[in-house]
A = this chain, B = another copy of it.
Amino acid sequence: MTDEKDFLSGYDPGDFPAFAVTADVVLLTMRAGRLCVLLIERGGPPFKGMWAFPGGFVKLDENLDQAASRELQEETGISGIDLTQFASYGDPDRDPRMRVVTVSYLAVVPDLPSPQASTDAAKARFWPVDDVEGTLAFDHDRILGDALSHLRTVVEYSPLAASFCEREFTVADLRRVYESIWGVDLDPSNFQRKVLGIDDFLVPTDRQSSSSAGGGRPARLYRLGKVSELRPPILPPD
């Protein structure tokens, strides 16, 4: 009966509950067919020695998106990738030090070189998602779970899965991404026809993959087209 009155009419600036706001980045990649997440080992309390997402305080003169990419750049050296906000978390006890609301972002990248090479963030590395579930600092386990279910949903209806691939990739590369995410096997020939039949999804190059591993016909290389929506969706069979 008081707060919202203050909010609706005039009030004394500074007369509001003070929160810290952070931006966290759940950055996913695919390594050897396993879904991996970029984590940073915490050097101090709370949760010292545990692993958490890159992220940190939003500054007073930047917006939420900017904070997320700045923190990612500062802590891991990674920049120039798409970050999309997917949820915010603000339970009273999620950080024992103070009241923090975190705005969480999802990023999907190809298999990058390990981040320690790039900056001073020596404690950053990729972990297979299955190996860390249930072990993260703060409420980051819950956030990771939400990020993964968000990923699995979005990937059916958007070309996001192609972000796991390099700039040029084969249809089989893309198929293996979907197979990993859904844990199913897809028929290579039908998958090929399906994705090539979607307008503006894959644009062919005139280059071919070097058929490196033990033979087999080289595959054509594609680049991601400008499609924004996959209709009909790419679904796992049943």
| A8 proximity list for chain B (CB < 8 A) | 40, 42-44, 56
The complex places the Cα of A219 from the Cα of B84 at a distance, in Å, of 44
Segment at the B interface, from A96-104, A125-133, A170-178: A96-104
A17 nearest CB neighbor, chain B only: B60
The size bracket of the interface on A is 35 or more
Is the Cβ of B56 less than 8 Å from the Cβ of A21?
Answer: no
Q: When the two chains form their complex, are residues B59 and A3 in contact, meaning their CB atoms are under 8 A apart?
A: yes
Shortest A13–chain B CB gap in Å is: 6
Contact with B along A21-40 (1 / 0, CB 8 A): 11000000000000000001
**Separation of A19 and B91 alpha carbons in the complex (Å):** 16
Do residues A71 and B16 form an inter-chain contact, with CB atoms below 8 A? no
Which listed segment binds B: A61-69, A108-116, A193-201, A205-213? A61-69
In A52-93, the 8 Å CB interface with B consists of: 55-64, 71, 74-75, 85, 87-92
Residues of the B chain whose Cβ atoms lie less than 8 Å from the Cβ of A64 = 88-91, 101
Is A203 an interface residue when CB atoms closer than 8 A count as contact? no
Q: Which of B17, B62, B87 contacts A92 (CB 8 A)?
A: B62
Q: Could you list which residues of chain A lie within 8 angstroms of chain B, going by C-beta atoms? A: 1, 3-4, 6-10, 13-14, 16-22, 40, 42-45, 55-64, 71, 74-75, 85, 87-92, 97-99, 101, 103, 233
